[in-house]
Amino acid sequence: MNGQPTVGERLVIGNPGEDIFAFAAELYPICRSITGHGVRKTLRAIRSHVDLEVHEVPTGTEVFDWVVPREWNVRDAYIRDQRGREIVNLAGSNLHVMSYSVPVHRWISLAELKQHVYTLPDQPDLIPYRTSYYAENWAFCMPHRLLESLADERYEVLIDADLSDGSLSYGEYLHKGESEDEFLLSAHICHPSLANDNCSGVALLTHLAKRMAEVKTRYSYRFLFAPGTIGAITWLARNEESVKRIKHGLVVSMVGDGGGPTYKKSRRGDAKIDRILAHGLRHCGLKPTILDFSPYGYDERQYCSPGFNLPVGLFQRSQFGQIPEYHTSADNLEFIAPDHLALSYRLIAEAIDVVENDGIYRNVVARCEPQLGRRGLYGAIGGDKGTADANMAMLWVLNLSDGRHSLLDIAERADLPFSLVRRTAQILRDHGLLSVCDIGAEGAR
């Protein structure tokens, strides 16, 4: 803290929301699954922005209790009636084919077709998103209203797909800081045309990694783009020894809609990242939801499995599974917006700012309060919501800067934004009232 813009402030310069939305729109049409050409195409798109290292892990590789599955690629798919009219096809929406469907090409009755079609009767105009990664099956997905309209005749079904030995692909980018201690930022890249889940998360972390490359940091930042569940498990299996360097972590998904924000704590429940996100969201001006950990959700449940118990939480806007658009064709580009993406990005940047700038200080005038008036310190902080908060921040920082409390400790106890407490500490330090004990402290509690 030397009067220059902090890491968090430098990350949000410009208009990140528009850039993130544009990249999410580029990713949206790609047909992705947990393996295959769509995943590689997505990783190539990310690599056009950051120096991404792509890994290929062969089919059959044992990763703890799992095995890397066969690779799946689909070229074409359709349902046609007896007149040759296409009812649904892959070109219309890649949600029309259940992910990992085995190849099929034959004529079947309407009754048999219905055994291989998923719909949403309660949302009759939407296409559901369905997968069958580890059980061989085939199916189509379509609006329930469309299925109800089909005549009782025979239909030609085609799924032109391969399910064969190949590899699982994932990418990672490491921004090296002054320390080898790491902040893990993870996004799943297996979902097809679902804009919020998770084109938004992939696009946001790509933009963050691109901006991070221009900034000097104390911590190192590892960005991981991997298929959900099996990708995270594979990465953990291949990095079992090095994960001990992870001191903070966030899984990022569903960050483009206007809900929330939502934060799900790590398994530890009191990790520093849990404190940082809970504190930051409390001062974000919205109505956040803070959830305790549960072993259901996204890849945080792999990072937080008992054999690792990493300090990794989940950041979202709306909570997964709690909105009608979730895993349906309504999760499209109209459902996300640059403004929502920009706010999500800012909240994550603010969390990084706390990680980078937290520290422990000592009040050099520890016996009673120093005389602030003659130093011109009352009202010295401009641009805050009120002089009262600025003055209270000074009193709190001076009182709790005893060599034991970090700035985050002080911000939490004073119920003031960390950014205000950080700027206040800088001003007091510039006036010779604080000395540094430990920059980058993990906190005293």
Name the binding residues for Zn(2+): 191, 197, 327
Question: 319 in helix, strand or coil?
Answer: coil
Question: Which residues is 313 bridged to in the sheet?
Answer: 250
Compute the distance between CA of residue 429 and CA of residue 123 in angstroms, rounded to an integer: 59
Binding-site residue numbers are 191, 197, 327
Residue identified by tokens 């209270």 is 392
Q: How far is C-alpha 151 from the geometric centre of its chain's CA atoms? A: 44
Compute the distance between CA of residue 20 and CA of residue 40 in angstroms, rounded to an integer: 20
21's tokens: 């939305």
Q: How far is C-alpha 108 from the geometric centre of its chain's CA atoms? A: 42
Work out whether the CA dihedral 190, 195, 201, 207 comes out positive or negative: positive
Secondary structure percentages of the chain, helix, strand, coil, to 5: 35, 25, 45
DSSP 32-56: --SSSHHHHHHHHHHHTTS-PEEEE
Burial class (CB in 10 A: 0-12, 13-18, 19+), 181: middle
Angle at 91 between CA 83 and CA 199, to 5 degrees: 155
Q: Which residues contact 215 (CB under 8 A, 6 or more apart)?
A: 7, 10, 11
Compute the distance between CA of residue 415 and CA of residue 410 in angstroms, rounded to an integer: 8
Q: Of 200, 207, 133, which Cα lies nearest the Cα of 173? A: 207
Amino acid letter for position 107: W
Question: 11 in helix, strand or coil?
Answer: helix
Helix segments in 181-289, DSSP class H: 201-212, 230-238, 272-282
Q: Are 129 and 327 in contact (CB under 8 A)?
A: yes
Compute the distance between CA of residue 38 and CA of residue 36 in angstroms, rounded to an integer: 6
Compute the distance between CA of residue 249 and CA of residue 273 in angstroms, rounded to an integer: 7
CB count within 10 Å of CB 444 equals 13
